[in-house]
Structure 1
Amino acid sequence: MDELQLITERTASVPLAESGALASARERLMTEIAATEAENVTPLRKRRRWVWTGVGAAGLAAAITAVVALAPVEQVGLEPPAAAADPVTVLRNAAAAALKTPGAPPKPDQFVYTRTKQPDGEREAWLSADGTHDGLIKMTDGALFPLPGCRNGRAQVYKGDEPLKGVTEPCKPSPGYRADLPTDADAMFAYLNANHSGHDGDVNAMGKDVLTLANENYLPPAVRAALFGAAAKMPGLRAIDHAQDAAGRPGVGITWPLRRGDDPKVAKPVVIVFAADTFQYLGTNSTAVTASGVVDAAGQRP
């Protein structure tokens, strides 16, 4: 088979990658070319003609395929191995994967259920979809923490897990279903900056705000995609080749700098973990999302 035809067939359906993702693949390509030239050079070196035949042509085609195949998952569904992971590319791929996830909206009187594994055991949460119904948090040891719904601007006050009769407090609904959030990465980034929990420029606080939304809230696909897209804009991101979430599931990790002044011997960085093949959000190195869904009542499981 003609080598140019071979190369064309290998690469025809594969879109081009972004230039930032090509460094390692380009190096492999040039190594293959150099090796092929060394094997096929004539005694008259001044001719310097490459002869790509047999195994050399097939190997070269494979090398070129490897170069163009490093495209975002939204284009081809593939991504380089975790060892070569770029944090921005991983988060963009996670956004593309989230966008393809089914996301039928819950009914206002339903509950968003999430089970997470944490260092001190498991936590189950039932969040009111519209924030007006009474939700619940349950811990492994059986401890219950009521989540009073906000109705007409007032919420029931509890002492432990017992309501105080006739005692309410001002409130705003805190819905578990967040259809009110931006669906564009730039707009989501602006929202996170405007509603951050830390001081201006606190990347660590913004990262934790991202996790707060990702862990126990039900986000429409476009909103979840915007959240990961906004996270990709955070400065100082770093990919971790082989990470594990709190449940021990392997994946590719993304982390960010600690706060200025934090002691690295005491303060451990948060690592967001995504499945390396599907880019599904798994959780973090301290909290793993092991089950989620929508149910009709607090205490019910999917």
Structure 2
Amino acid sequence: MTEIDRLVEFRAEVPESPELAAEEARLRAAIAGERGTAAGGARRRFRLRGRTALAGALAAGAVAAGAVIAAVDAPAPGAPDPIVRTMPVAHVRVLQQAADRAADAPELHPRPGQFLVIESRMMNTAEDNGADGQVRYLYRVERTLWAPYEGDSTRAVLRTTVLPPKQWPGRPLPEAARQGVGETSTEKAADFDGRAEWLRTDYAYLSKLPTEAEGMYAHLYTGLGTGREADAQAWQNLGGMLTEAYMPAAQRAALFRAAAAIPGVTTVGKAVDAAGRTGVAVALDVPGTGIRTEYIFDPDTYDYLGERGVVTDASRAQAPVGSVLAATAQLSVRVADAPPPVS
């Protein structure tokens, strides 16, 4: 049975056309490494775009039945076969809506030399080995990040104000957790930046990423293999491009459409961000952790609100199911010419 047969079996209303069959034959030839008439084994690229018959048929009635080829590169002679990266048909409606509405908000246009000023609120797990043994609690801060338009994060400046902590579910709040509450500090955001190129989140880099979902999907999986762990890391990469970061609407729309195609992503309904705002969330379980990572969107505008980590396995996370052990809230983004001095 061919892919076309399976597609027709899943949705009988999808027509089998000569153009569709020919497209499948070309893709099969690409995956098999057949280079056709390309002289000297030259590199060829095959791309199936949304306006082809297959994508049109899937959009018409067979969502979740097939996959779109993002890119297939013919290997050099003697080289191992490449991973064929496919983009499953996007099916998570919340992310599709966020993509459709990405251009609704006023666009920021920072220039080289300027800084994006991002205000946020965060909550994370804190651990301390005190006289009474290991203690855990939830550490909370207000953050203002001055992120440079271009370059590594060592030029960024971070101002933090310590907020009252919250107790770890089922544990008393240790006295040490209250130290520093209300204090504000301004310092360099990082002493070094050892991220790989594809993990950069500065505006100059993000604004050059693909504006099509297939290309953005491939970017999310850069350096990754296949399987649940790769899907979970791609989901985490998405968060790195949303939290304390800003990109143009075109790239943001492509990012949401690509994220909607990551296998295992689901809609979990109502969720509350670190600022207490209620939205609708999309989520993916992180293998081996007992926690799912959720991204929260405004239910009316579909603006990105924040992220949270929710317990799904009590024994692994050492907290009751449903507990929120991490959360963020992106409050505002603006442009400034320079950061404040470091104290």
TM interval, shorter chain, is 0.5 to 0.7
Give the conservation status (yes or no) of the 8 Å contact 1:238–1:254: yes
State how far apart, in whole Å, the 1-side matches of 2:303 and 2:241 are: 15
Secondary structure at the counterpart of residue 284 of structure 1: strand
Relative to structure 1, is the Cα distance of residues 199 and 180 closer, same or farther in structure 2, using a 3 angstrom cutoff? farther
* 1:218 to partner: Cα distance: 1.9
Tell me which of 320, 331, 336 is aligned to 1:295.
336
Secondary structure at the counterpart of residue 292 of structure 1: strand
Which residue does the alignment assign to 2:106?
Answer: 102
Whose radius of gyration is greater, 1 or 2? 1
**How do 1:74-89 residues align onto structure 2 when only pairs under 5 Å count?**
88-89=92-93
Tell me which of 246, 265, 283 is aligned to 2:274.
246
Deviations 1:5-26 (A, max 9, x none): xxxxxxxxxxxxxxx9xxxxxx
The structure carrying a bigger strand percent of its residues is 2
State how far apart, in whole Å, the 2-side matches of 1:197 and 1:144 are: 39
State how far apart, in whole Å, the 2-side matches of 1:180 and 1:199 are: 28
**How do 1:5-16 residues align onto structure 2 when only pairs under 5 Å count?**
none
Which residue does the alignment assign to 2:260?
Answer: 232
Query: Is 1:134 paired with 2:162?
Result: no
Identical columns (%): 30
State how far apart, in whole Å, the 1-side matches of 2:246 and 2:226 are: 24
TM-score by length of 2: 0.50
Secondary structure at the counterpart of residue 143 of structure 1: strand
Give the conservation status (yes or no) of the 8 Å contact 1:283–1:289: yes
State how far apart, in whole Å, the 1-side matches of 2:187 and 2:225 are: 23
State how far apart, in whole Å, the 2-side matches of 1:253 and 1:236 are: 14
Relative to structure 1, is the Cα distance of residues 90 and 137 closer, same or farther in structure 2, using a 3 angstrom cutoff? same
Relative to structure 1, is the Cα distance of residues 123 and 109 closer, same or farther in structure 2, using a 3 angstrom cutoff? same
State how far apart, in whole Å, the 1-side matches of 2:223 and 2:275 are: 30
Relative to structure 1, is the Cα distance of residues 87 and 256 closer, same or farther in structure 2, using a 3 angstrom cutoff? farther
State how far apart, in whole Å, the 2-side matches of 1:91 and 1:174 are: 20
Mark the runs of 5 or more structure 1 residues left unpaired by the alignment: 1-19, 21-85, 149-156, 159-168
| RMSD of aligned alpha carbons | 3.2
Paired residue type of 1:176? Y
**How do 1:274-285 residues align onto structure 2 when only pairs under 5 Å count?**
274-285=297-308
Secondary structure at the counterpart of residue 124 of structure 1: strand
Relative to structure 1, is the Cα distance of residues 174 and 116 closer, same or farther in structure 2, using a 3 angstrom cutoff? closer
Give the conservation status (yes or no) of the 8 Å contact 2:221–2:230: no
Give the conservation status (yes or no) of the 8 Å contact 1:241–1:253: yes
Relative to structure 1, is the Cα distance of residues 124 and 241 closer, same or farther in structure 2, using a 3 angstrom cutoff? same
Which residue does the alignment assign to 2:214?
Answer: 186
The structure carrying a bigger helix percent of its residues is 1
Paired residue type of 1:102? P
What is the number of equivalent residue pairs in this alignment? 194
State how far apart, in whole Å, the 1-side matches of 2:307 and 2:142 are: 14
Relative to structure 1, is the Cα distance of residues 187 and 294 closer, same or farther in structure 2, using a 3 angstrom cutoff? same
Query: Is 1:114 paired with 2:118?
Result: yes
